[in-house]
Amino acid sequence: MSMNNRLSTSISSSSSAFLGQDRHFKIRPQNVFLPPKNPRICKCVATTPTEKTAYMTKVSRNANMAKLQAGYLFPEIARRRAAHMLKYPDAQVISLGIGDTTEPIPEVITSAMAKRSHGLSTIEGYSGYGAEQGEKLLRAAIASTFYANLGIEEDDIFVSDGAKSDISRLQVLFGSGVTMAVQDPSYPAYVDSSVIMGQTGQYQKDFGYGKIEYMKCTPENGFFPDLSTVSRTDVIFFCSPNNPTGSAATRDQLTQLVQFAKENGSIIVYDSAYALYMSDDNPKSIFEIPGGREVAIETSSFSKYAGFTGVRLGWTVVPKELKFSDGFPVAKDFNRIVCTCFNGASNIAQSGGLACLSPEGLEAMQEVIGFYKENTEIIVETFTSLGFNVYGGKNAPYVWVHFPGQSSWEVFGEILEKTHVVTTPGSGFGPGGEGFVRVSAFGHRANVLEACRRFRELYK
């Protein structure tokens, strides 16, 4: 039987057959999503130089947009996946690429959102515009749940429609005149928003964008940059646990980072969107580090904790102690940005966020997180058994697999072509990601097991 014929058979849901009788992973009740055989594809076609358009305005294009390389990473992956599905309409394509959650939101959370939604149809329950900074009860719950005894108060917290949105709002806050540093590799929204704001120079292959300080994070340095070699910048973007490498900074390392920022008068933008996936005894917040409130902003999200990738709810913490060089509080300017650019998160989503932070909601979120962590164990075990150098997986829902001497996009293409599994090329996260592929643990258990079976078949 050919490889493609084998892949078009039904997906097995047996974990014991795959991992042996000694391993038992729970299969959550689910209907495994399989893409339609004939997906509708929307193609964007560029106008060729020989074609003439009927009319053009006299408005110049933002030159910073022209600096951006190709498409944003994840839409580009979606485009290649769609093309693959057209080529193989009968294939069962499994996505372990974009970090989108797959498991249902716990009922204790959705019931709260449903109640709030139905309440909007009553005189007593209706509400219109809310506070741009978020509802008081939710801000207080975030402060007490995630920042107890860290000196963070409810009015330091700004509730939003997600961490990604806040990253761009923070770039608007900083403006085009700042310099920035970023882990290499790292989540591409940090760099792309910096480019759009006009903070960078042109892109150079194998080096990245000019004027950005790429802080190399490699297996050799334990995925924490050698700060003695890092130039001073105004803003430092830092994510822990890291997307895509899955590494988490230790208390000593974050102490070094805070001290580095203080010595250089820099501001850290600390992304803690995966903090609850931490297995090691590492800090879950930058504000656990002495001096953190004087140099750092923290952004986080309910997306990967409660399956809110589509609901959209996150928050950013801007401490009162954080000041610009003239002594003006950063929080006051961020408040102005929020009030100008944003009308506040959905009141329905915020009721869901409040339910997430109830004792029952926290327990339900931990169960979902535990499920994804089991997926991660399966993926790590698979690639390790095949002889690959594998990183991450312990503190984050991502597995960082090394393919030395190979192009990340070529490996991505080979895996997609031969196994019908979507991954993420490491080079999409920065020059330091070349030669790596990120495999996401977000997926139905049966799909993860089947994907791992295909990996074993390809690399045996």
User: What are the structural domains of the chain?
Assistant: 14-36+62-104+362-459 (3.90.1150.10), 107-358 (3.40.640.10)
pLDDT at 29 exceeding the cut of 60: no
Average pLDDT over residues 60-85: 90
pLDDT value at position 23? Answer: 54
CB distance 233 to 382 below 8 Å = no
pLDDT at 28 exceeding the cut of 70: no
Global confidence as pTM: 0.89
pLDDT value at position 50? Answer: 59
Instruction: Give the model's confidence band at 416: pLDDT under 50 very low, under 70 low, under 90 confident, else very high.
Output: very high
pLDDT at 51 exceeding the cut of 90: no
Question: Strands 203-204 and 267-271: what pairing?
Answer: unpaired
pLDDT at 402 exceeding the cut of 70: yes
Instruction: Give the model's confidence band at 206: pLDDT under 50 very low, under 70 low, under 90 confident, else very high.
Output: confident
pLDDT at 198 exceeding the cut of 70: yes
Average pLDDT over residues 130-158: 98
pLDDT at 46 exceeding the cut of 80: no
pLDDT at 41 exceeding the cut of 70: no
Instruction: Give the model's confidence band at 348: pLDDT under 50 very low, under 70 low, under 90 confident, else very high.
Output: very high
Least confident range of 11-20, 83-92, 369-378: 11-20
Query: In the 8-state DSSP scheme, what is residue 276?
Result: G
pLDDT value at position 181? Answer: 98
- Report the alpha-carbon distance of residue 71 to residue 271 in Å, rounded: 23
Residue-wise pLDDT for 126-141, tens only, equals 999 999 999 999 999 9
pLDDT at 199 exceeding the cut of 60: yes
For the sheet with 314-317, list strands across it: 157-160, 314-317, 296-301, 267-271, 235-239, 180-184, 212-216
Average pLDDT over residues 212-218: 98
Residue-wise pLDDT for 96-119, tens only, equals 998 899 999 999 999 999 999 999
Question: Strands 94-95 and 421-422: what pairing?
Answer: parallel
- Summary mean pLDDT of the chain: 91
Nearest in space to 294 (alpha carbons), one of 322, 316, 324, 268: 322
CB distance 238 to 269 below 8 Å = yes
pLDDT at 74 exceeding the cut of 90: no
Distance of CA 188 to the CA centre of its chain: 9
